[in-house]
Structure 1
Amino acid sequence: MSGSLFVLTTAAGRAIRNPIDEDLRRALDEVFQVPAPSDDAAEPAALPSTWLRYEQRPGVTLVLEVYPGGTVTFDQWADAHYARELAPPARLGRISFSHALALWRALRAGDVGAVRCEAWETQ
């Protein structure tokens, strides 16, 4: 099987294949309405999140996960089974709703270069 797959997972756990712009906005709204943690060092995994997964079949899997307060993580895998990382996990802190939406739109468009050129901090 070849091609691309896009799946948006909302903070409520709903998976949406090939999300449209309204789906992206709604999912980000859910997360951005949650108060941001007061400590920048707060562990994102303990907070609700929403993420967009992009799979090239066969090929890489990329995941952009957004947390309250605008923290975004970027994971890159060599396959759809998350067996081999292509790069260490990366993070952007406290970006705006519109910046998060732009990142998701770029990923959904398959513009991986636009996503990778951000000022990611490796974890």
Structure 2
Amino acid sequence: MAQSLNQTGFALPVTHFRVPRQPYKDESMNEETTLDNLEELTELTLRPHWAIGLAEGYMQRGVQLCTRDGRRMGNAVVAGFETRGEKTFAVAVTDVGTVMRLTQGELAECFHEPKWLMDVVSHAGVQRARIAGETLP
């Protein structure tokens, strides 16, 4: 029986021959496929089960917020907005139900750029905040 060496240098019996793979060609792709279209196709295949869409920035209801520093605060979701004077604040609710009112700059400082939208009503932190008596927009 023929033998080949694996990466560690030990001899292994050759039980099958490797057939070179042909590059994958997606028939739905053509010259008009752009980088944006590829991102959309990727989004459709990689979307988490809880996501309801793509985020377009911090100031959007339902944006999933992933914390930059877990020692400071946890992950959150934007539950709505409040306007005080001339400033607009996003009402962010953490996974444990802590409610914060943050500007867009503060969101960018505390959280990574959002990718996904989620259902605010079913978010565990929002439910905890409502049980605790918080009024959310």
> Same-fold call, TM > 0.5?
no
TM-score (norm 1): 0.32
Which has the larger helix fraction? Answer: 1
User: Hey, which of these two has a bigger chunk of strand by percent?
Assistant: 1
